[in-house]
Amino acid sequence: MKKTRFTEEQMVGILREADARPVPEVAKKHGVSAQTIYGWRKHFGTLEPADVKRLRQLEQENGRLKKVVADLTLDLDVFPEDVERVLNQLPGVRDSAVVGVTIAGDARVHAVLALEAGIDRHVIVGNANAQVQDHQ
């Protein structure tokens, strides 16, 4: 990727200067072509220098959050929250806690169930799997 000699904030500052004065004059002052300024205008529009900095911070935070979400849902066909919601709606389940766990690259959903007396856990898990599978 080509390295530029101007930061994004400087580019926007030059654009705001070009809004007040003729583009060829501003281009000559800063040692760039008028076409370069038009390209910057197309890219940055009406942003202010402070907006560019905030936009960069938001883009970095967004990328970090996307990575976190991707890591959490890696290879899972269902979200743990969906499984927990389904389990808690089933008769005979008093409470449940569900988490996604990755062991040796294999992602799985694990649940802890608090069942009423006499309830078979295999029946509950089978019913929950059937309901969750409808949503996949």
Closest CA to 87 of 96, 78, 79: 96
Do residues 110 and 98 lie in contact, with contact meaning Cβ atoms separated by under 8 Å? yes
pTM of the predicted model over 0.75: no
Write down the domain spans for the chain. 8-72, 80-134
Query: How far are the Cα atoms of 8, 64, 129 from residue 135, in angstroms, in the given order?
Result: 45, 28, 10
Class for the domain spanning 80-134: alpha beta
Residue-level pLDDT, tens digit, the chain, 136 residues: 567 789 888 999 999 999 999 999 999 999 999 999 999 999 888 888 888 888 888 888 877 766 665 554 444 467 777 778 888 888 888 888 778 777 777 777 777 777 788 888 788 888 887 877 765 5
Q: Is the separation of the CB atoms in 111 and 124 below 8 Å?
A: no
